[in-house]
Amino acid sequence: MKTSKYFSTQHFVGNQSPAEKICTGLRELKQCYKLILLFCIISFSTTYVNAQNEPRQAINICAIAIPTMNMYVINYEYLYHNRHGLATRIGYVPKLEDADTKGVGWEAILNYRWHFSPKLENFFVGPYLRYRYVSGSGMAEASNYDFNVHEVNLGLNGGYRWVSKIGINVVLAAGYGYSIGEENLMPTNPEIESAFSAFKSANNTNSTFLDAPFFGEVSIGYAF
């Protein structure tokens, strides 16, 4: 009769001494820890790669403002430490006018945005600081005059950024702030002051850019 050279693992373990059983258990536990560690490394690597692929910056333009209000606006945002966005904005209006007065306007905005989750595509809220400068010249009752306007606006805004898989993104935001301004008319008299007041509200572009405490953004661009 042929004798088998192999024994079942159960039979072998059952015949082990207590010390040998402990050593066997420790070896099995060590292998288990290795598998857990390998799983954690793979999971962390996947999460890290996905985080690296998330866009952290975006450049947008307010395309709708060009045909409707003759305003040219570019926005940039950088997301750091997952939830903190630093946004900047530059705007230019080449033609502020009415029948007797013409001017140009510039604006610069710094905007902090706290994101509700750690990515650009999200709801956000935060304070903003805006500076606007307008200069030009006009005529009132046969008197020529020059003007410049400085305005600082501090307020709060909130909105949402949507980002597609290929990086196209759209931002909708609105806010309101408190404005401090200075108007300089050279020379000045009641007729010039009246003409300049009419100029500020002559059309939507003028009224939006002058004496407007509101903040708004409807923009489209690329996130990367």
Chain segment 25-52, per-residue pLDDT in tens: 556 555 655 655 565 565 444 444 444 5
CATH 2.40.160 fits 57-223, yes or no: yes
Categorize the per-residue pLDDT at 204 as very low, low, confident or very high, splitting at 50, 70 and 90.
confident
DSSP state of 55: -
> Which residue type sits at 214?
F
| pLDDT tops 70 at residue 181 | yes
Where does the pLDDT of residue 23 fall: very low under 50, low under 70, confident under 90, or very high at 90 and above?
low
Local confidence band at 11 (pLDDT 50, 70, 90 cut-offs): very low
Whole-angstrom distance between the N-terminal and C-terminal Cα of the chain? 76
For the cut 90, the answer to whether the pLDDT of residue 152 exceeds it is yes
Residues 6 or more apart whose CB falls under 8 angstroms from that of 205 comprise 69, 70, 71, 93, 95, 96
The sign of the torsion formed by the CA atoms of 204, 210, 214, 217 equals positive
d(CA 138, CA 192) in angstroms, rounded, equals 9
Question: Considering the entire predicted model, what is its pTM?
Answer: 0.74
Residue-averaged pLDDT of the chain: 84
Sorted by where each begins, the domain ranges of the chain are 9-53, 57-223
The rounded distance, in Å, linking the Cα atoms of 28 and 26 is 5
Q: Which of 29-33, 60-64, 136-140, 170-174 has the lowest mean pLDDT?
A: 29-33
Q: CA dihedral defined by 108, 125, 219, 96, rounded to 10 degrees?
A: -40
pLDDT of 82 reads: 87
Residue 136 has pLDDT above 90, yes or no: yes
Task: Please state the rounded mean pLDDT for residues 2-13.
Answer: 43
Which position has the token pair 């292998």? 31
> What is the Cα–Cα distance from 217 to 159, expressed in whole angstroms?
9
d(CA 174, CA 155): 10
Query: Residue 114 has which token pair?
Result: 């706290």
What pLDDT sits at residue 10? 43
- Residue 208 is classified by DSSP as H
